[in-house]
Every structure is written in structure tokens, then in C-alpha cells.
């Protein structure tokens, strides 16, 4: 790591979508982002620390590699359970139920436009994984 990359921070993530309002709405409704700008078919969403850009694609719904996803960490298992229950109740496209693979409890879902998300907690991670998270 160099001095330049030591101070580098995440600026933004960009996702293509055939339905920008629906994709941006998912980020806003379920993930706590604020839509700060919409123009020329794109949306810029804000969250402390980084932005998300949703860019309109005209020809087809983007196809993401099967395992491609963005992950968000929650504080507790109860938070994971509550969000999972809300997603199911509101018809979010679920990829998995809640499971624990040793690194903590998690589930996967998809936003309109096909972006997959992992919502997890490390609060219940196995002891052998805790050291790598610090």
C-alpha cells in the first residue's frame, strides 16, 4: 500500500438498470439511501461514506454474474431477521432464507433491475472468523 492508496476511500458504486426509478426506490426504501439527483435517466443516491449511481440502460435488463452482489452489515441477528421479515412481507425477490455459514447470519435478495444484495451480521460469527473482522 502506498501513501496515495492509504488515504483512498470508496467514492461510489454504479449499477446499470432498465428501470432506474424502481431500482433507486429499492435503495431508498430498504437500504436507507437518499435520492439526491435524477437526470438524463440516471439517479444519484447518497449514504454516509459513499454514493450509488443508477444508470439507465435502454436495450435490455442488465445481466449480472450469478454471484455478483453488494453486501451490507447490520448490527445484530434480530436486525437481520426483522429486515428479512419485512422484505418477505413486501414481496422483495428473495434468493435465500437466513443462514449462518460461520461468518455470521445472512440472506440474499434482489432489487428491481437484478442487483443482488447480501444483508448480514457478524455478531453471531464463529470465533475462528472474529479475528479477521477486526
Output the pTM of the full model: 0.87
Indicate if the pLDDT at residue 134 is higher than 80: no
> How many angstroms from the chain centroid is the CA of residue 88?
16
**pLDDT per residue as tens digits for the range 92-125:** 999 999 999 999 999 999 999 888 999 999 999 9
User: Residue 1's pLDDT is what?
Assistant: 63
What is the pLDDT confidence band of residue 4, given thresholds at 50, 70 and 90?
confident
In angstroms, the CA 56 to CA 47 distance is 20
Mean pLDDT of 72-98: 96
**pLDDT per residue as tens digits for the range 51-67:** 999 998 877 778 888 88
Q: Do residues 13 and 47 lie in contact, with contact meaning Cβ atoms separated by under 8 Å?
A: no
DSSP string, 57-111: -SSS-----TT--EEEEESSHHHHHHHHHHHHHTT-EES---EE-SS-EEEEEE-
> How many angstroms from the chain centroid is the CA of residue 70?
4
* Structural domains of the chain, with CATH: 1-60 (3.10.180.10), 64-134 (3.10.180.10)
In angstroms, the CA 33 to CA 54 distance is 12
**pLDDT per residue as tens digits for the range 12-31:** 999 998 889 999 999 999 99
Q: Closest by alpha carbon to 125, among 115, 133, 114, 117?
A: 133
Amino acid at each position: 500500500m502506498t501513501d496515495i492508496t492509504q488515504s483512498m476511500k470508496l467514492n461510489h458504486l454504479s449499477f446499470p438498470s432498465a428501470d432506474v426509478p424502481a431500482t433507486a426506490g429499492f435503495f431508498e426504501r430498504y437500504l436507507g439511501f437518499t435520492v439526491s439527483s435524477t437526470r438524463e435517466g440516471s439517479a444519484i443516491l447518497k449514504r454516509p461514506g459513499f454514493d450509488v449511481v443508477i444508470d439507465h440502460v435502454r436495450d435490455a435488463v442488465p445481466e449480472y454474474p450469478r454471484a455478483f452482489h453488494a453486501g451490507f452489515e447490520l448490527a445484530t441477528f434480530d436486525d437481520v431477521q426483522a429486515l428479512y421479515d419485512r422484505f418477505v412481507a413486501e414481496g422483495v425477490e428473495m434468493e435465500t432464507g437466513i443462514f449462518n455459514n460461520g461468518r455470521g447470519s445472512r440472506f440474499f435478495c434482489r432489487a428491481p433491475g437484478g442487483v443482488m444484495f447480501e444483508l448480514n451480521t457478524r455478531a453471531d460469527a464463529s470465533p475462528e472468523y472474529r479475528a479477521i473482522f477486526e
